[in-house]
Amino acid sequence: TIILGIETSCDETSVAVVKNGREVLSNIISSQIESHKRFGGVVPEIASRHHVEQITYIVEEAMAKADIQVEDVDGIAVTEGPGLVGALLVGVNASKALAFAWDKPLIGVHHIAGHIYANHIVEELDFPLLSLVVSGGHTELIYMKEHASYEVIGETRDDAVGEAYDKVARTLGLPYPGGPHIDRLAHEGKPVIDLPRAWLEEGSYDFSFSGLKSAVINTLHNAKQRGEEWSKEEIAASFQASVVDVLVTKAMRAAEDKKVDRLVLAGGVAANKGLRAELTEACGKAGLKLTVPPLELCTDNAAMIASAGTFLYWNGNFADDRLNGQAGLLLK
């Protein structure tokens, strides 16, 4: 089964060709980061325009790189949400046009399902499993009893973890996206500042990062008034220590409560070295099998969308021409 995947939910235009859900024949990613950098974040209008300019070329490139013909394609999978609605619509409309012109079935994929399936490309998923999803817009613990089945057991009540990284980075005067910069600085400093950890109510798998973000800002502010100074490295290390502590502790507790022996990490923040290291250590101690995607499959890409879409294809779960971009699409 060969699925063409299309991803345009945010600031990456990506098209991929994936065979049997695991074999990546091509995965072309065109990032717009340079265009958004000077605004300190993604500008929706600019994102949509870039997608429109790029999509046709990227489809051609993905087909050429995979070295396949239109006849070889079994279905077209596209991110239908969540994301920026104008950006999503570019991918959705391109896939509808291709599905019609090529006479192929159309498959709508949830962006976060895609992030999770990046792990299936690395190592075949087995169930039940728990996924820790950490990205620019999401922080979630998702229980899966089988393929294409999702139970969100915990989620953020305010900022997503990637968002918190980007905001703290901005406060430190680091360029967008700030996550990788904080990660790098964190490894050069010691977590000497005692920052809060939001555990929330007993037994909750939910997250909250806005208090931590404010604590960082207050710490910087108070230090300035007292004439003290923390280095960027110390702030980054302390912030990262708090984030990683909460994420790893909650994921491990959920894995134990849900009796799973497989954990997968997903989303752009899965690129974080501190998180990868601590989760690997904790899973090793608890005897849990952990999968972490390589960097290029952590951030937005279409191979993960094609992989998740393959199971919907096998289940006969097709979309029709009413498929629409949905900014707030829920995972179910």
Give the chain's end-to-end CA distance (angstroms, integer).
24
- According to DSSP, the β-strands at 12-19 and 75-81 are unpaired
Q: How far is the CB of 6 from Mg ion (least distance, A)?
A: 15
Max CA distance (Å), the chain:
69
- Please report, as residue ranges, which positions from 293 to 332 form the binding site for Mg ion (by CB under 5 A): 300
Residue 269 near which of ligand ATP, Mg ion, Fe ion, none (CB within 5-8 Å, type-dependent): ligand ATP
> Per DSSP, what are the bridge partners of residue 171?
none
- Residue 23 burial (CB count, 10 A): 12
135 belongs to the binding site for Fe ion (CB under 5 A): yes
Annotated binding site for Fe cation: 111, 115, 300
Rounded to 5°, the CA angle 54-56-60 comes to: 115
Cα dihedral 211, 300, 263, 179 sign: negative
Q: How far is the CB of 155 from ligand ATP (least distance, A)?
A: 11
Q: How far is the CB of 299 from Mg ion (least distance, A)?
A: 6
Q: 146-151: list long-range contacts, CB under 8 Å, 24+ apart.
A: 147/311, 148/113, 148/308, 148/311, 148/312, 148/315, 148/317, 150/110, 150/113, 150/116, 150/331, 150/332
Residue 179 near which of Fe ion, Mg ion, ligand ATP, none (CB within 5-8 Å, type-dependent): ligand ATP
Q: Which is nearer to ligand ATP, 166 or 234 (CB)?
A: 166
Question: Tokens 């613990």 identify what position?
Answer: 141
Instruction: Identify whether the C-beta of residue 73 lies closer than 8 Å to the C-beta of residue 3.
Output: yes
10 belongs to the binding site for Mg ion (CB under 5 A): yes
Annotated binding site: 111, 115, 133-137, 166, 179, 183, 272, 300
Chain residues that interact with ligand ATP, rule: CB under 6 A: 9-10, 83, 111, 115, 135-138, 162, 165-166, 177-180, 183, 267-269, 271-272, 299-300
Rounded to 5°, the CA angle 239-251-232 comes to: 10
Among the candidate windows 9-17, 54-62, 92-100, 189-197, which touches Mg ion by CB under 5 A? Answer: 9-17
290 belongs to the binding site for Mg ion (CB under 5 A): no
Among the candidate windows 81-89, 107-115, 230-238, 292-300, which touches Mg ion by CB under 5 A? Answer: 292-300
Q: Which is nearer to ligand ATP, 75 or 83 (CB)?
A: 83
- Please report, as residue ranges, which positions from 283 to 312 form the binding site for Fe ion (by CB under 5 A): 300
* In the complex, residue closest to ligand ATP by CB: 268
Residues that bind Fe ion (CB under 5 A): 135, 300
Residues that bind Mg ion (CB under 5 A): 10-11, 300
